Amino acid sequence: MQKVKLKAIEFDVDFRKNEVTNYNAFAKSKKFPGELKPNEAFLFISKSGNQLMWVLNVIEFDNERGRTIEIFDTRRWRILRSTWDPYMLQNYANEVGIHLVGFRRFEEVYSKR
């Protein structure tokens, strides 16, 4: 299981748009904490709270024509008949194959909200 630090959570994301559009809108916002480093992730949560998207990495490589290709490593979930629970994030992450490190701080901050 990949160990990942949750770098940021973006709430109220419009999931009618694709991953790239949502990522680019987040990257232009004042809340954007900077590009992802290896073993970091962003989490996007839909406006309705029933969809989650983990952005794990943006990978760049040159193809055989010499063009740079960017690939998003994302995992997208739709929660049926319910909404996300912030205290279940570690469980959600485990189910998509990642283990969140340094996560206790988020739970403490969120509970004071």
User: Using one digit for the tens of pLDDT, what is the confidence trace for 61-83?
Assistant: 888 888 888 888 888 889 999 99
Domain of 80, in residue numbers: 2-112
Q: Tens of pLDDT along 14-33? A: 999 998 899 999 999 998 99
How many structural domains comprise the chain?
A: 1
Residue written as token pair 């998003």: 72
Amino acid identity, residue 71? I
Q: Which residue has the higher pLDDT, 2 or 28?
A: 28
Which among 10, 102, 94 has a CA at the least distance from the CA of 51? 10
Give, in degrees to the nearest 5, the angle at Cα 19 between 50 and 89: 40
Task: Note the pLDDT of residue 98.
Answer: 86
> Which contiguous run of DSSP H or E holds residue 105?
helix 104-112
- Helices within 44-98 (DSSP H only): 89-95
**Exposure class string for 35-66: b at 16+ Cβ within 10 A, else e:** ebeeebbbbbbbeeebbbbbbbbeeeeeeeee
